[in-house]
Amino acid sequence: MSGFTFSSGGATCDGVDAAAVAAAEGTPLYVYSAALVVDRYRALDAALGACPHRVHYALKANSTLGLVRLLRSAGSAVDANSGGEIAVALRAGVDPVDVVFTGVGKTAAELEDAVRIGVGVINAESAGELARIDRIATARGVRARVALRINPGIEADSHPGIVTGGARHKFGVPIEDAGAVCRDAAGWSGLDLVGVHAHVGSQLTNLDEVARTASTIARFAQELRAAGLALEHVDLGGGLGISYDGTPALPVEEYARVLVEAVAPTGLTLLVEPGRWIVGPAGVLIATVVDVKPQRGSRYFVVLDAGMSELLRPALYGARHRLERLTPRSGPEVTCDVVGPICETTDVIRLGQSMPLPEVGDLLLVRDAGAYGAAMASNYNRRALPAEALVEGGGWRLIRRRQTVDDLLACES
C-alpha cells in the first residue's frame, strides 16, 4: 500500500525513511507521497466511474507546483479559487479548458483574464458577477462558459469555519432566487450557462447532507432543463472528509454512490472539486523539538520549530492531528502540550499528547497535513516558509526549497 507506515519511533514514506529526508533537508519540512496522491485521485475517479464525470482537484488544498503537475499527469482537472491559482495551474501544464474558476470575490482583472484565456467554466457567485462576466465577454466578442453557484440552505455538520451551504453563509445565490437568475442569464449574449454548482462545506463526514445537497442541486438542474436551458453539467464541489483521529472515514465509494445516484438520472456530467480527500493523508509535517519545559504538575511543554506559521489548522479550527515520534525514546508516558515557537497562545500543534518525554533535537511528525497545511503557511514572525519534499520512485526531491531571508525581503524596499 502506498503512503506512510508508522512504527514506534519511526516512519517510512513509500519505503523511504522519513527521518532521513528530514536529516537531509532540515525541518520544518513537509513530505508527500506521490504514489498516495495518485492512488487517491484514481480511487475517487474510479468510484465515480459509472457516470460521465470529471475530477477537478481543488488547488486551495495544496497548490505546490510539483503536486499540481503530478495530479495533472494523472489526468486530473483543477478547481482554482484565484488568479494566482489559475497561474499555477497553467504553469503546471493544465489546459485552460480543464479549469473551473470558483471564488466568492473575483476581481475585475481576474474575470478579464479568465475570459481571455477561456477557462472551462466560471462558477459565478451572484447575479452581479454574471452581469460583469457578460460585459467582459461581450466586449471581447466571445461567449463565456459560466455556472451559477447555488446556496441550497443546507448547513452541513462540520467545523463552523468551513461550512458554506447555509442560508446565512456568504456563498452563492439562495436556491429560491437562483431559478430566475439562471433564466435571465441564459438570454445574455456574452454567456453560455452550462452548469450549476454547489459546495456546502469541507471535512464532510455525514452522508445524509451530501445526498441531500446532491439531490437538491440535481433536481434544480432538471427544472432549468425543463425550462429550456441547455445545461451540460452539475458541479457538486468538494468536501469529502478524511479521518484525522484514525476512526474509519466516510468511504469514498459511498460518497461517490450518492453523488452518482443523484446526478446520473439527469444525463448531465458530474463535476467534483475534491481537495482534502486527495492530498490530506498523503502529506506530513516533520518538526524538531527545540525546547522541553515542565509545567505545573507532571505535564510538559514540548516546543517545536513548527507552529501556526507552518500548520494553521490547530490554531484556526482546533484541529487535532495525530503525532508520531521519529526519534525512539523509552520511558514512562507523560502528558505533553506540543506547541510552536510563535508569540501566540493559540500557536499549538497538539495539546495533551501522551508520550515518552522527548529531548531537544528529537523529530516529531504531524500526520494528515497534506491539505490546508503548506497552502495556509505564512511568514508570520518573519518565519521562512518550510521546504516541501516529494517522495517518488524510491527517492525524494524538493518541490519547494526553504525560503531564505532574501526571499522574505524580495518585495520590500
Ligand X SMILES: Cc1ncc(COP(=O)(O)O)c(C=O)c1O
We find the least distance from the C-beta atom of residue 198 to ligand X, in angstroms, to be 9
Q: How far is the CB of 11 from ligand X (least distance, A)?
A: 24
- CA distances for 264 relative to 57, 256, 271, angstroms: 21, 11, 12
Max CA separation in the chain (angstroms): 73
Residue corresponding to grid cell 505533553: 336
Between 21 and 204, name the residue whose CB sits nearer to ligand X: 204
- 51 versus 375: smaller Cβ distance to ligand X: 375
Q: How far is the CB of 278 from ligand X (least distance, A)?
A: 8
Residue 207 CA to residue 157 CA, distance in Å, equals 10
**Cis status, amide bond into 28, omega within 30 of 0:** yes
Rule CB under 6 A: which residues touch ligand X? 58, 60-61, 79, 102, 199, 202, 237-240, 273-277, 371
- Does 13 participate in catalysis according to the annotation? no
DSSP 248: P
Least separation in angstroms between residue 408's CB and ligand X is 28
For ligand X, the closer CB: 44 or 302:
44
Q: Which of 13, 51, 343, 411 is catalytic?
A: 343
Q: Which residues pair with 395 in a beta bridge?
A: 392
Which residue, among 315, 333, 277, 365, has the nearest Cα to 20 in the 3D structure? 365
In the complex with ligand X, which residue's Cβ is closer, 225 or 257? 257
| Beta carbon of residue 319, minimum distance to ligand X (angstroms, whole number) | 13
All residues at 6 or more sequence positions from 182 whose CB lies less than 8 Å from its CB, including other chains? 148, 193, 196, 224, 229
What separation in angstroms does the CA of 365 have from each of 113, 176, 285? 40, 47, 6
Choose between 21 and 89: whose C-beta lies nearer to ligand X. 89
Q: Kindly list the catalytic residues.
A: 343
